[in-house]
Structure 1
Amino acid sequence: MCLRGCYDKKAGGGSLLPGQGSLPRLWGRKKSSVSEPVAITSEALTTPETPASEPLRNADEMAASLNQKVDALVKASPESAKKLEETIAALEKTYLSGNAAGAPEDPIARLGRGFQTFKTNHYNKDTALFDKLKTGQWPKYMVIACSDSRVDPATILGFQPGDAFMVRNVANMVPAWEPKGGYPSVSSALEYAVKHLKVEHIIVIGHRLCGGIKALVTTEEGQGSHDFIESWLEIGKPARAVTKALAGSDDVDEQCKFCEKESVNVSLTNLLSYPWVKEKVIGKKVSLHGGFYDFVEGSFQVWDFDVTISHSKKY
């Protein structure tokens, strides 16, 4: 068996994701005015009687009513629809980050607000998708990515619910096959994705400025100070060895950049140590891919991890 990863140290990035435009900002200037002073009397301080109002509706009813009004406006005027989308985007940004006065949002309340935004913009609108997902899942992709908060695969690759079965861990590592031991969290997810969900593509995604890879490159043997991290990063030691051999004379940042991609190839190689993954790959039922997200430059690179079988000849 010959393994050939398509990564080349000097190669540039592959297809780039388009840059995200900035959200529109809303601002206004309130005209100042000077009015004549008014004498304050006891009558002026009297609170007017509040008229009776309808009972407050629950959030779903209010959202449904608002959606009906928005749909009517969209149908009536495409120009109004565009302006409305810009306004909603700006308000949503303020809504999720804090109130208009700049006070920080309660972190737990923000989760609820975020869900309501998702429910309004996605769950309530794409009923066909979510009705289908109630009956099961059929993802085409299994994605193994880093836990880093800056590199959410669903966000950067535009996945919708049901598109990808995901595993995330420190430095996007895949351990080699080790029956009845090892790291069952990754192995069990891999087994479920391949045997039961029958995914067609497995992609391991590394990323720029990975803290786990920096620790792998810079921490000497026996010098680690963590309870679990150094043990986990043992999986990536082959990538460290290749990095030191081929890029050891470079500065630390360049070594890390090299190792961030090389560690992806190590994980792809480890995938083939699982008998049922190897069988699917040889049978062309599953394909393996490496990915690399550079959020410094705003690029995403992907490469195939080719597997070819050479039939031996006996002389």
Structure 2
Amino acid sequence: MATAFPPRSRGGALRRLVDGFDRFRDQHFEHDHELYDTLLDGQRPEVMVIACSDSRTDPAIICGAEPGELFVVRNVAALVPTYEPDHRPRGTSAAIEFGVVALGVRHVIVLGHSFCAGVRCLLEHDHGGRRFDFVSDWVGIASEVRDEMDGLVTEAERPVIARRAEQAAVLASLRHLHTYPFVAERVADGRLSLHGWYFHFGWGLLQAAEGPDGPFRQVDRGMPPAPAMGRAVAEPPA
């Protein structure tokens, strides 16, 4: 077992994180007591984001969200497994259930991104020649994306096909969300809307799926994207 050292006794990355917490406390926690007093009573986010674990694509940073605004689920490649009520531990499915059923979020966003290593593993069955014990099986959740792209990838086409596959993985996760009865029910009666977003951090662009099959269009400033599946209303129907 690794020895735990007090963060301030070590330099580099951990020290920067502790210094970052000091700035957060000074700039936000110390000056916004009303917000944090409200959060003591519990969380009431309207939006769930299913995002990739990639360190470059933190949804709270991308969206400029305040504490309590987003219920975030992160995993490799921002994938949603299909509904499997088999009484086995399923972290992503549990988080979706908690966000939709317990918290009553009004929107679920699947947020994919460019240069996704998880999608690369999906397409190539490995990453840089290495097959993982867990990652390879996990990304197989979106095997339909690999089947769709099979035979299309040449060296010249690779950047374009990779982007198409990343966006197709978002659409596959939206379809998988519909296999959850508590999701499909709420989408059908207007309490929940599903969105597919794609962040290209090489270009600094945010795109949204216009429908369950795409296409993805750039989100205009000040214009919230329409849901790719279903809609949300101001109040749940009686």
User: Shorter chain as normaliser: what TM range?
Assistant: 0.7 to 0.9
Q: Find the counterpart in structure 2 of residue 300 from structure 1.
A: 206
Q: Report the counterpart of residue 232 of structure 1 in structure 2.
A: 138
Shift of 1:248: 4.3
Q: Could you tell me how far apart the structure 1 residues matched to 2:146 and 2:88 are? A: 20
Q: Is 1:202 matched with 2:108? A: yes
Moved over 3 A (4+): 247-250
CA distance in 2, matches of 1:230, 1:120: 42
- 1:279 and 2:180 aligned: no
Name the CA distance, whole Å, in 1 between partners of 2:87 and 2:162. Answer: 30
Alignment-mate amino acid for residue 174 of structure 2: L
After TM superposition, the structure 1 stretch with the greater mean CA deviation from structure 2, 176-185 or 202-211, is 176-185
Contact 1:243 1:262 in 2 (8 A): no
Using the TM superposition, give the Cα deviation of residue 254 of structure 1 relative to its aligned residue in structure 2, in angstroms: 1.8
Counterparts of 2:19 and 2:228, CA distance in 1:
41
1:145 equivalent among 51, 57, 65: 51
Q: 2: CA distance between counterparts of 1:296 and 1:112? A: 29
Q: Secondary structure at 1:281's aligned position in 2?
A: helix
Matches within 5 A, 1:242-257: 242-244=148-150, 247-248=152-153, 251-257=157-163
Contact kept? 2:125, 2:131, Cα under 8 Å: no
Aligned equivalent of 1:180: 86
Question: Which residue identity is paired with 1:275?
Answer: P
Question: Partner of 1:292: helix, strand, or coil?
Answer: strand
Higher RCO (Cα < 8 Å, 6 or more apart): 1
Which amino acid in structure 2 is aligned with residue 263 of structure 1?
A
Which residue is equivalent to 2:7?
none
Instruction: Give the Å deviation of 1:217.
Output: 1.1
Residue 167 of structure 1 aligns to a residue whose secondary structure is strand
Contact 1:205 1:264 in 2 (8 A): yes
Name the amino acid aligned to 2:145.
A
Q: Is the 1:205–1:290 Cα contact (8 Å) retained in structure 2?
A: yes
SS in 2 for 1:263: helix
Report how many aligned residue pairs link the two structures.
Answer: 202
Note the alpha carbon deviations across 1:139-191, whole angstroms, 9 max, x for none: 01000000000000000111110001010000000000000256610011111
Provide closer, same or farther for how the CA distance between residues 258 and 136 of structure 1 changes in structure 2, counting only shifts above 3 A.
Answer: same
Per-residue CA distance 1:51-104 (angstroms, 9 max, x = gap): xxxxxxxxxxxxxxxxxxxxxxxxxxxxxxxxxxxxxxxxxxxxxxxxxxxxx9
Please give the alpha-carbon distance, in whole angstroms, between the structure 2 residues aligned to 1:139 and 1:286. Answer: 13
Paired position in structure 1 for 2:30: 124
Q: Flag the 1:306–1:109 CA change in 2: closer, same or farther, 3 A.
A: closer
TM-score (norm 2): 0.79
Task: Return the TM-score normalized by structure 1.
Answer: 0.61
Following superposition of structure 1 onto structure 2, how do residues 52-201 of structure 1 map, counting pairs within 5 Å? 105-181=11-87, 184-201=90-107
Q: How many angstroms does 1:224 deviate by?
A: 6.3
Task: Report the alpha carbon displacement of residue 108 of structure 1 after superposing the two structures with TM.
Answer: 2.5
Aligned AA (2:95): A
Report the residue type matching 1:191 in the other structure. E
Superposed, which structure 2 residues align to 1:30-45 within 5 Å?
none
Identical aligned residues as a percent: 37
- The amino acid that maps onto 2:29 is Y
> Does the aligned pair in 2 maintain the 1:175–1:183 contact within 8 Å?
no
2:28 corresponds to which letter in structure 1?
Answer: H
User: In the superposition, relative to structure 1, how do residues 299 and 180 fare at CA in structure 2: closer, same or farther (>3 Å)?
Assistant: same
